[in-house]
Amino acid sequence: MAHQVLADKVACHFARRTSHSFDDLRHMVVIGLLKAAARFDGIGGRSLQPFTRTYANGEITHCLRDHGYAIKVPSSWRDLFANGQNF
């Protein structure tokens, strides 16, 4: 819960760039944060926040890649689809 602000920032960043909902992206970010917390050791005085942000970005990127478009679709077409318009 302490990193909820970070989760919201990362999810908001990807929500602006993709057609996925903010809530779905935030769930993916939380999964990335949990994975980061499980792997973080803190040796050498490293900070947790940059480490968790990397994992959160990676989790979203992997999910979008795995469940994204099979072919390259122009961003203008994706925007039209996200807005519910026909192209």
Residue 71: pLDDT band (50, 70, 90) is: low
Q: Is the pLDDT of residue 2 over 80?
A: no
Rounded distance between C-alpha atoms, residue 35 and residue 77, angstroms: 34
Length of the chain: 87
Q: What is the reported pTM? A: 0.65
Environment class of 78 (CB within 10 Å of its CB; exposed 0-12, middle 13-18, buried 19+) = middle
81: its two tokens: 């689809």
| 41: helix, strand or coil | coil
Where do the H-state alpha helices sit in 18-46? 22-39
57: its two tokens: 């970005």
